[in-house]
Amino acid sequence: MNLDATTSPGRPWLAGMREAFPLLGGYVPVAISFGLIATQAGFTPWEAVVISTLVYAGASQFLFVGMIAAGAPLWLVVAMTLLINLRHVVYAPNLAPWLTPSRGWPWLMHGLTDQVFALAHARLPQLPASQRLGWFGGAALLAWASWIGGTALGALAGGELVARWALMGEILPFALPALFLVLVAPRFTSRRWSLALGLTVLVALGLTILGFTNLAIPLAAACGALCFQVVKFAPARQEHAKGDRHE
């Protein structure tokens, strides 16, 4: 994939920020919603911002404040929050081959969200090793800052913003699927990959429509991976059967 943003050798962090910019279209409106919902659930704006800063995981944050507001036991709130975030365990190992030796990487893992992973998984292999840390730092910090800023905005003025900019709140989040589409499209390189990835997308969308948003990512990914493995054996078996039957 070519680049819109040139990665100038001196400022890889700037290129990272530029390439992560489309993420803001999805992050900011959702963060505003979180800030608003958190304050409606009884948290102060300061507390909402602290949760966004420390936990920094969209879906689980909504669940966290929702369960607290509903009076769920704290151990269950924590368990469910961590369960939803369990999918994150496969992200960093997938990036590991492209991470350079530096003490900065472990700290930056706090910013490894679904979206930052998708972007980094596509871009890190294309960057020179010397630019990867700066690029990832720029992309991850911009995304994190936008999430925290959006939460603060939502907690302080969310009601008014939603009322005044309702249409923009509906349009801007499309930047996320558009970005993911651009990241996933180059991977449709063979029939086997196309089938596995196409199935994954459909299962994830289907589960989300049915209301299983939190399960959608791990379940759909498991279906896609299974499909990829099964399809690998299908041609061999077919060939074998073909040979046996002399068709």
Residue ranges in 113-132 that form contacts with other proteins under rule CB under 8 A: 114-115, 117-118, 121-122, 125
What's the distance, CA 240 to chain centroid?
A: 42
Read off the amino acid at residue 3. L
**Which part of the chain contacts other proteins (CB under 8 A), choosing from 44-52, 130-138, 154-162, 236-244?**
44-52
CB closer to other proteins, 185 vs 241:
185
Query: CB under 8 Å to 40, separation ≥6 — which residues?
Result: none
Q: Site residues for other proteins, window 188-207 (CB under 8 A)? A: 193, 196-197, 200-205
Residue of 187, 191, 240, 242 interacting with other proteins (CB under 8 A)? 187
**Region of residue 42 (left: phi > 0; alpha: psi -120 to 50; beta: else):** left
Closest CA to 93 of 127, 53, 120, 60: 120
CA of residue 37 relative to chain centroid, distance? 21
Residue with tokens 């963060």: 31
Q: Pick from 49, 112, 127, 133: which binds other proteins (CB under 8 A)?
A: 112
What residues between 164 and 183 interact with other proteins by CB under 8 A? 167, 169-183
Residue 66 near other proteins by CB under 8 A: no
Contact with other proteins (CB under 8 A) among 69, 141, 184, 195: 184
Nearest CB to other proteins, comparing residues 82 and 241? 82
Q: Of these, 11, 41, 66, 105, which contacts other proteins (CB under 8 A)?
A: 105
Contact indicator for 139, 119 with CB cutoff of 8 Å: yes
First to last CA, the chain: 43
Smallest distance from other proteins to CB 186, Å = 8
Residue nearer to other proteins on the CB measure, 234 or 241: 234
Residues in the chain: 247
The binder of other proteins chosen from 41, 145, 162, 221 (CB under 8 A): 221
C-alpha 137/C-alpha 127 separation (Å) is: 14
29 lies in the binding site for other proteins (CB under 8 A): yes
